[in-house]
Structure 1
Amino acid sequence: MIQKEVLEEQFSINNVPITLFRPSQTKSQSTFLYYHGWTSSVENYRFLGKSFAAQGIKVIMPEVEEHGTRLSDQYYFNSFDNMLITIEQTYAEFADIKNQLFEQVEINLDKFAIGGHSMGAFISAYLFLKYPEFQQAHLFNGVIDTEAIIYEIEGSLLSLSEEERKLVNNYNPAQMLAKLGQRKMYCYNGLQDTVVSPVFMQKFQTQISTNGQYSNEFIFNFYENAGHDLTYKMLRDCYKAILS
């Protein structure tokens, strides 16, 4: 049922700024933890938080290091290395805030989903597979095999530093699928995306179909005339799955 009012609250846990959106009229059982992308911010996704909360879903948005209200270096986004550092830092921060966050927001793990856009999708995929109590993952314009996209960006994994290769190998969701179980991962990709090519997800879909593993756990959605931005259809398909 669509809510008329949405409440928005800002707070911090261990110096991580968090924005919470929730419906004002009912006590929501479903919760969506959402991570924004590289160079973006929580502010850019307030529309998602409000629209999902209007559908009866609590939405939690942490601000990623050196983004949005945490940005201190205007040149931070010029370095690809900084993206890898940011991803690793976000994993560490989540482990640090998880217990207090879940208690403070009163999360029902039976109705908990995690997701994100672009870099946020990479982050969400890893965290989803790391924590078996999470029920759903929703990945917007992302990839599962992060090694593949970094290989494409750099031309060859050999061009990465030893520390970067270690990071890719340690945190690649494609190497963690044994932890998936029967949980669902929903993937939403725009076919006109020129930032994160949908080809990566299409290749992964083919791989899943060919080997016959995890074919019931992955739900792939490809959208005509959609680029790297979120679309109404993506958001509609996502909140319907969360509420199902």
Structure 2
Amino acid sequence: MLRKETNGFSYDFYEPKDVKKDISIVLFHGWGSTVESQKELATRLTKHGYSVIVPEIIYHDDRQPLGNYLSKEIKYAYFWKTVMVSIDEASAFYKLLNIPTENLVLMGISMGGFIVNGTIAAHDQFAGLVNINGSGSFVLSEQLFRVMDDQPEMTDKEKQLLENYDPIKKGRLKAPILMLHGTQDTQVSIEGQKNYYTYLTEQLRKTNVFFNEYSDINHTISDEMIEDLIQWLNQLTLS
């Protein structure tokens, strides 16, 4: 693994010994997590021939870390701000990588899933999208968060801001999509993924989208999820 820093962005780069195909994976971690926490998964993916890039996310690691990520006050002040800043800075970051975006698969776990969904909806020129225990339905997911945390409903201003980034409002998405989610997830409800899958398949009529549910899995990544991910990556073809 190599730590790289350029123009204000830092990321870990994992290079495989044997390149399987000309695809690199950009892996975004979840809320309150770290770049280092993705080492095991990134290393496992390189063993299958894929380069993996794990970027530092705003308000995490060395980019203005927040401290107590379990605090509801911090979560509601910074969760969506983190997602939105990451989407906004996507173009600058991918330009610095010097890798054609057509060769990049965006992959996100939990909050990272929100980030990559928002990014690909705004800049649909990537090789594929993987969302694990996240959501592509921003407004619905925030409504579910607030019910779960016994928080007041969104104001009209808050809802409008989310709608500006909500992938469910974007009529694009040519790239293949893989969504994996545990049915017993108590942190990010699977209903957000279900709603987004319905939008993709019924309204956009996408046929290159796959949604796998995993019984008795909470907010974690199982071996079965990783096996399904690797199988999907191995079958992925570049346009």
TM-score category, normalised to shorter length: 0.7 to 0.9
- 2:184 counterpart of 1:192: yes
Secondary structure of residue in 2 paired with 1:69: coil
Q: Which amino acid aligns with 2:172?
A: K
Where do 1:117-128 residues align within 5 Å? 117-128=109-120
Question: Distance between the aligned counterparts of 2:131 and 2:103, measured in 1?
Answer: 17
Shift of 1:52: 0.4
Counterpart of 1:89 (choices 85, 110, 129) is 85
Secondary structure of residue in 2 paired with 1:188: strand
- % identical aligned pairs: 22
Question: Distance between the aligned counterparts of 2:154 and 2:122, measured in 1?
Answer: 25
Secondary structure of residue in 1 paired with 2:126: coil
Unaligned runs of 5+ in 1: 1-7
Q: 1:15 to 1:60 in 2, by over 3 A?
A: same
Show CA shifts across 1:124-156 (max 9, x none): 011112222202100000122110011122359
Counterpart of 2:164 (choices 158, 164, 170) is 170
Shift of 1:27: 7.6
Q: Which amino acid aligns with 1:195?
A: Q
Question: Distance between the aligned counterparts of 1:148 and 1:67, measured in 2?
Answer: 25
Residue pair 1:22, 1:28 contacting (<8 A) in 2 also = no
Aligned equivalent of 2:34: 41
Residue pair 1:31, 1:58 contacting (<8 A) in 2 also = yes
Question: Distance between the aligned counterparts of 1:76 and 1:197, measured in 2?
Answer: 19
Q: TM-score, normalised by structure 2?
A: 0.86
RMSD: 2.4
Aligned equivalent of 1:232: 223
Question: Distance between the aligned counterparts of 1:207 and 1:179, measured in 2?
Answer: 12
Question: Distance between the aligned counterparts of 2:86 and 2:70, measured in 1?
Answer: 16
Secondary structure of residue in 2 paired with 1:189: strand
Q: Which amino acid aligns with 2:34?
A: S
Show CA shifts across 1:189-220 (max 9, x none): 011111112133234445556x3643413211
Show CA shifts across 1:93-150 (max 9, x none): 322222121x1xxx35444210101110011011112222202100000122110011
- Comparing 157-166 with 30-39, greater Cα deviation is found at 157-166
Unaligned runs of 5+ in 2: none
- 2:133 counterpart of 1:141: yes
Secondary structure of residue in 2 paired with 1:41: coil
Q: TM-score, normalised by structure 1?
A: 0.84
Secondary structure of residue in 2 paired with 1:68: coil
Number of aligned positions between the proteins: 230
Where do 1:151-166 residues align within 5 Å? 151-155=143-147, 159-161=153-155, 164-166=158-160
Residue pair 2:20, 2:48 contacting (<8 A) in 1 also = no
